[in-house]
């Protein structure tokens, strides 16, 4: 069956069953992201946005789109930050793709590494700490991204998180009864009014990873598929497989999770966001919900 709109050969079928040709798919994709940016006020005049990139398809598509969108707007600056965790056989490849993309788009890229910042790369940390690699990586990445964005005078950080990532997080927090973490999700998070905490925006919140991969392929954006050697060990992987099985049998499951979650998010924020705003680590001054941030606690363990 041809594209419903222009009768050309279809390249993608939406959840609704509607089939779109290359041109109509691109237009659908870009329109949906612009709508999200507009609806949630993600980009405003005077913004200096740090785009967190990894060289993977999600953040590469995000950077390409934001580069185009912000070029049409006045007084908006964007640049990219890449965190090099030091994962052999993975990060060097994606880093190369990120460098090439930034060069092509004419966007300044800043690279921060675990080794330089924490004195050790992730591969070594994993051997020393009795914690899952994704937990360790997540804690240090969040810490370093916030610090880097602040040092580089960004007032917002943009992430390539997609509908699949968010639906997985919602279900994970539900299964683990982690309402504090659930209250921090959403299209914009960390929107605490404190200069030390850079708010995070997710313009691709409503896009499925299948749609993002299709957009990347059609427009020649991302490089070769490389899988993180630690990816298989994550609890998230189990949730991802479960949701994909559900999505196959009941199309629209992921969109349903997000829609229902966004309706309950204001209540979660009201009940589970700590009173008086965010706290700051007594050791390093970075944002934390306790007295000492997780990164400082892990660093103590690493160097003991």
Partner 1 sequence: MKVYIEKTGKTANAKAPSVAALLKKLNINPVTVLVVKNGALVTEDAKLAENDTVKILSVVSGG
Residues interacting with partner 1, by CB under 8 A? 1, 9-13, 19, 22, 54, 56-58, 90, 94, 165, 209-210, 212-214, 217-218, 225-228, 231, 240, 244-245, 247-248
126 vs 296, which CB is nearer to partner 1? Answer: 126
Residue corresponding to tokens 């990816």 = 231
CB of 140 to partner 1, least distance (A): 14
| Phi-psi group of 206: left, alpha or beta (phi > 0 → left; psi -120 to 50 → alpha; rest → beta) | alpha
Cα separation, 236 vs 124, in Å, equals 23
CB of 8 to partner 1, least distance (A): 12
Cα separation, 138 vs 222, in Å, equals 23
Residue 295: both structure tokens together? 């990164």
150 vs 240, which CB is nearer to partner 1? Answer: 240
210 vs 283, which CB is nearer to partner 1? Answer: 210
CB of 48 to partner 1, least distance (A): 26
Give the pairing of strands 188-189 and 12-13.
unpaired
Cα separation, 180 vs 187, in Å, equals 16
116 vs 250, which CB is nearer to partner 1? Answer: 250
| Phi-psi group of 100: left, alpha or beta (phi > 0 → left; psi -120 to 50 → alpha; rest → beta) | alpha
57 vs 184, which CB is nearer to partner 1? Answer: 57
CB of 129 to partner 1, least distance (A): 19
**In sequence order, what are the residues at sequence separation of 6 or more whose Cβ sits closer than 8 angstroms to the Cβ of residue 54?**
82, 83, 94, 98, 160
β-bridge partners, 158? 51, 201
Q: Taking Cα atoms as reference points, which of 213, 103, 233 lies closest to residue 164?
A: 213
CB of 227 to partner 1, least distance (A): 4
56 vs 287, which CB is nearer to partner 1? Answer: 56
Q: Taking Cα atoms as reference points, which of 201, 197, 184, 162 lies closest to residue 44?
A: 201
CB of 167 to partner 1, least distance (A): 12
Cα separation, 262 vs 268, in Å, equals 10
40 three-state secondary structure: coil
Give the pairing of strands 48-52 and 156-158.
parallel
55 vs 287, which CB is nearer to partner 1? Answer: 55
Phi, psi of 236 (to 5 degrees): -55, -35
CB of 102 to partner 1, least distance (A): 18
175 vs 217, which CB is nearer to partner 1? Answer: 217
CB of 155 to partner 1, least distance (A): 26
């Amino acid at each position: 069956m041809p594209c419903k709109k222009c009768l050309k050969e279809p390249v993608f079928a939406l959840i609704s069953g509607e089939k779109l040709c290359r041109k109509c798919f691109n237009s659908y994709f870009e329109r949906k992201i612009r709508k999200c940016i507009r609806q949630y006020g993600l980009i405003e005049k005077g913004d200096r946005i740090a785009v967190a990139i990894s060289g993977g398809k999600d953040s590469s598509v995000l950077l390409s789109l934001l580069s185009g969108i912000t070029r049409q707007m006045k007084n908006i600056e964007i640049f990219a930050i890449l965190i090099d965790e030091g994962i052999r056989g993975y990060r060097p490849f994606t880093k190369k793709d990120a460098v090439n993309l930034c060069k092509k788009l004419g966007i300044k890229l800043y690279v921060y590494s675990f080794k330089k910042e924490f004195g050790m790369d992730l591969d070594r940390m994993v051997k020393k700490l009795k914690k899952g690699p994704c937990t360790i990586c997540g804690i240090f990445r969040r810490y370093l991204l916030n610090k880097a964005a602040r040092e580089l005078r960004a007032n917002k950080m943009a992430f390539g998180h997609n509908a699949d990532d968010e639906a997985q997080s919602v279900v994970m927090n539900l299964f683990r009864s982690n309402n504090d973490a659930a209250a921090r999700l959403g299209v914009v998070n960390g929107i605490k009014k404190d200069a030390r905490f850079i708010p995070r925006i997710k313009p691709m919140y409503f896009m499925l990873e299948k749609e993002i991969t299709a957009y990347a392929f059609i427009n020649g954006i991302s490089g070769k598929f490389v899988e993180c050697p630690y990816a298989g060990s994550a609890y998230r992987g189990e949730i991802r497989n479960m949701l994909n099985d559900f999505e196959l049998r009941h199309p629209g499951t992921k969109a349903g999770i997000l829609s229902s979650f966004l309706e309950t998010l204001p209540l979660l924020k009201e009940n589970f966001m700590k009173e008086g705003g965010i706290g700051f680590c007594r050791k390093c001054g970075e944002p934390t919900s306790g007295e000492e941030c997780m990164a400082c606690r892990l660093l103590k363990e690493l160097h003991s």
